[in-house]
Chains A and B, each alone.
Chain A
Amino acid sequence: MLEIKKLTKRFGDFTAIDNISFTVNDGEVVGFLGPNGAGKSTTMKIVTGYLAPTSGTAIIDGKDIQDFSDETRAKIGYLPERNPLYDELQVKEYLSFVAELRGVEKKKRSQKIDEMIEICGLQKMLYRSIGDLSKGFRQRVGLAQSLIHDPDIVVMDEPTSGLDPNQIIEIRELIKEIGKTKTVILSTHILPEVQATCNRMIIINEGKIVAQGTTEELTKADKQKENVIVSLKCEDKETIAQELRHLPYVEKVEEHERAEQGTERFRIVGSHDMREDIFKLSHKHNWPIMEMFREQVSLEKVFRNLTQDSSKEPTEKK
């Protein structure tokens, strides 16, 4: 378990992170989101022991990272930003070196290295110089490096940056797999990535946490209201609207843009899930339903709202 407690880091006059606190539980994958320069990397550098905080601290499995730096560092696997590797080494040389440096027992070392090669799909690259690898393979070597000593906590700073879409999907699958057994915290500014891999996200802007929660919690536009968009095939717009208004829980029915030819589209706001009633109504009048879905505010929109206007109050704080 990783607990961040009132962490602050200043570089001269500049406050990179400002009194942030959060917890990541065992077996959780948490996405750390924010625009560039929000303080994501700085937070990770502190958690991994590369930089000391100005004030506050982080606790890893009950141990303070400042008092027990060596011990806590040993429990963390870290994939730094830009995935730095020793380019002049071959893949296998590098993994052996990391295993040895990380204190993997001599007996288990070769088994562990083989395991990482298997998991990260590096079989064909063992005797290539790291400097000659493609970005996708480099990233896998970085992942292998961060996992080889079986850490409890894995910290990944933008693990998919610079990869092509296929590679991104592969790496995400890998992260999900890792997340089943370990505590994972990854930073990114790619929103679909968080939705695809994380149980929970923390959005940070200008050094402060502006929101945290699951994707669902963050994207529900208004917690009390249900928004349903429905398209019905029917000539008479007014009749449908009228009928819809009479359904239970419905508070507002408004025409919605971009209707297909011959269909009418409505946005229905109510206090409860109304989809069943809408179905029954359309069935009764024989209006075929062309589409129907609950409207969600996209994560992109939430992110923009939270990070563009910093004077705004946080929408969701747990």
Chain B
Amino acid sequence: MARIIALIKKEILSILNSPIIYIVTIGFVVVNSWLYFENFFVAEQATLRTYFAFFPWILLFLIPAISMRVWAEEKKSGTIEFLLTTATKDWEAVIAKYLSTLILILFILICTLPVPLSVAAIGNVDGGQIVTNYIAAFLLAASMVAIGQWLSSLSKNQIVSFIITLLVLFALMMIGLPYLLASTKGILTEGMRFLSTQTHFLNMSKGVIDIRDVTYFISIIVLFLFLNVFSLQSRHWK
């Protein structure tokens, strides 16, 4: 536990010392607000539905930009050799890195709060819906990070890991789009619907926390963190 805390502190420090986090946070807030307010005054409605609908699309670019460096950078610079030859266990390193990124995501999501809060101030907005939307956004981001972190462990090259993560996350969203589901049949449709992050995010953003959606996200997280530990350990038998 002490090692995990030490690692999280270091990760956060590293992130704060590099410009990427500021760019990403500002990017997220600005793009999201702009997309939302573009229609806000036209529609003249104090609804936040469209605001949260943009989240998955922005996360699609944001998450790979954060997760690409997690292992690729350690591998490229060789610091992974230092890290894993201290008494740190592989799973401790994986968990510590994952939690550090989650703290970051939490920080970014908090930065997006002013918009819903100000809309709530001028109109009649369901507070519960804001909360469930944030929970949905957080779970979605957390599972995307788990996938991105695993993909980052497969390459030394941050750009490669960015692009592959982007493609995988994009595919996971696309297979849940209604027009794609409409063009397939039977079990394939069901499978695609079930596997897509979009299905579960949209379910939750309606304002209902369904245990099936939560289970989906948590399973994704556990699976990919496990794969991450596995890919670190594969150095021993490669």
Residues of A within 8 A of B (CB): 11, 45, 48-52, 70-71, 73-74, 76, 78, 80-82, 84-90, 93, 97-98, 100-103, 129, 145
Query: Of residues A50, A70, A85, which shows the largest number of chain B Cβ atoms within 10 Å of its Cβ?
Result: A50
Per the bound structure, the CA–CA distance linking A18 and B84 in Å amounts to 24
Per the bound structure, the CA–CA distance linking A145 and B78 in Å amounts to 15
Per the bound structure, the CA–CA distance linking A93 and B5 in Å amounts to 15
The contact sample of 25 A-B pairs, CB cut-off 8 A, is: A50-B81, A50-B84, A70-B89, A71-B87, A73-B85, A73-B87, A78-B82, A78-B85, A80-B81, A81-B78, A82-B78, A84-B77, A84-B79, A84-B81, A84-B82, A86-B14, A86-B79, A88-B18, A90-B17, A93-B13, A101-B3, A101-B7, A101-B88, A102-B86, A103-B87
The interface-forming segment of B108-116, B121-129, B135-143, B230-238 is B230-238
Residue B182 at the A interface, CB < 8 A? no
Cβ contacts under 8 Å, B10 to chain A? 86, 89, 93, 97, 101
* CB closest residue in chain A, given B2: A103
Cβ contacts under 8 Å, A98 to chain B? 86
* CB closest residue in chain B, given A93: B13
Residue B49 at the A interface, CB < 8 A? no
Cβ contacts under 8 Å, A88 to chain B? 14, 17-18
Cβ contacts under 8 Å, A101 to chain B? 3, 6-7, 10, 86, 88
Residue B206 at the A interface, CB < 8 A? no
Cβ contacts under 8 Å, B17 to chain A? 88-90, 129
Q: CB < 8 Å: which of B3, B78, B235, B238 contacts A84? A: B78
Per the bound structure, the CA–CA distance linking A145 and B10 in Å amounts to 15
Cβ contacts under 8 Å, A70 to chain B? 87, 89
Contacts A89-B14, A89-B17; A100 near B81 (Cβ below 8 A): no
Q: List residues 61-116 of chain B with CB under 8 A from any CB of chain A.
A: 77-82, 84-89
Q: CB < 8 Å: which of A48, A50, A86, A100 contacts B235? A: A50
Per the bound structure, the CA–CA distance linking A11 and B80 in Å amounts to 19
Q: CB < 8 Å: which of A48, A52, A100 contacts B6? A: A100
Within the complex, what minimum Cβ distance (angstroms) separates A98 from chain B? Answer: 8
Contacts A84-B77, A84-B79, A88-B14; A97 near B6 (Cβ below 8 A): yes
Per the bound structure, the CA–CA distance linking A158 and B9 in Å amounts to 30
Per the bound structure, the CA–CA distance linking A265 and B212 in Å amounts to 94
Per the bound structure, the CA–CA distance linking A76 and B84 in Å amounts to 12
Q: Which 4 A-B pairs have the closest CB atoms?
A: A84-B78, A52-B236, A100-B6, A48-B85
* CB closest residue in chain B, given A101: B6
* CB closest residue in chain A, given B236: A52
Interface size grouping (class) on chain B = 20 to 34
Cβ contacts under 8 Å, B86 to chain A? 73-74, 98, 101-102
Quick check: A76 and B82 within 8 Å, CB to CB? no
B207-238 near A? 1/0 per residue, CB < 8 Å: 00000000000000000000000000001111
Quick check: A103 and B85 within 8 Å, CB to CB? no
* CB closest residue in chain B, given A142: B82
Within the complex, what minimum Cβ distance (angstroms) separates B126 from chain A? Answer: 42
Within the complex, what minimum Cβ distance (angstroms) separates A208 from chain B? Answer: 23
Cβ contacts under 8 Å, A97 to chain B? 6, 9-10, 13
Quick check: A85 and B7 within 8 Å, CB to CB? no
Per the bound structure, the CA–CA distance linking A48 and B82 in Å amounts to 9
Per the bound structure, the CA–CA distance linking A48 and B83 in Å amounts to 11
Quick check: B6 and A51 within 8 Å, CB to CB? no
Within the complex, what minimum Cβ distance (angstroms) separates B11 from chain A? Answer: 10
Per the bound structure, the CA–CA distance linking A101 and B82 in Å amounts to 11
* CB closest residue in chain A, given B5: A100
Within the complex, what minimum Cβ distance (angstroms) separates B231 from chain A? Answer: 15
Per the bound structure, the CA–CA distance linking A74 and B85 in Å amounts to 8
Cβ contacts under 8 Å, B81 to chain A? 45, 50, 78, 80, 84
Q: CB < 8 Å: which of A50, A74, A84, A90 contacts B87? A: A74
Quick check: B236 and A51 within 8 Å, CB to CB? yes
Q: List residues 1-32 of chain B with CB under 8 A from any CB of chain A.
A: 2-3, 5-7, 9-10, 13-14, 17-18
Q: CB < 8 Å: which of A11, A50, A73 contacts B238? A: A11
Query: Of residues A52, A97, A98, which shows the largest number of chain B Cβ atoms within 10 Å of its Cβ?
Result: A97
Quick check: A51 and B235 within 8 Å, CB to CB? yes
Question: Can you add 4 more A-B contacts, CB < 8 Å, to A48-B85, A50-B85, A88-B17?
Answer: A50-B235, A89-B17, A100-B9, A103-B3
Cβ contacts under 8 Å, B235 to chain A? 50-51
Per the bound structure, the CA–CA distance linking A73 and B90 in Å amounts to 13
* CB closest residue in chain B, given A54: B237
Within the complex, what minimum Cβ distance (angstroms) separates B237 from chain A? Answer: 7
Cβ contacts under 8 Å, A84 to chain B? 77-82
Cβ contacts under 8 Å, A45 to chain B? 81
Cβ contacts under 8 Å, A129 to chain B? 17
Query: Of residues A84, A85, A97, A129, which shows the largest number of chain B Cβ atoms within 10 Å of its Cβ?
Result: A84
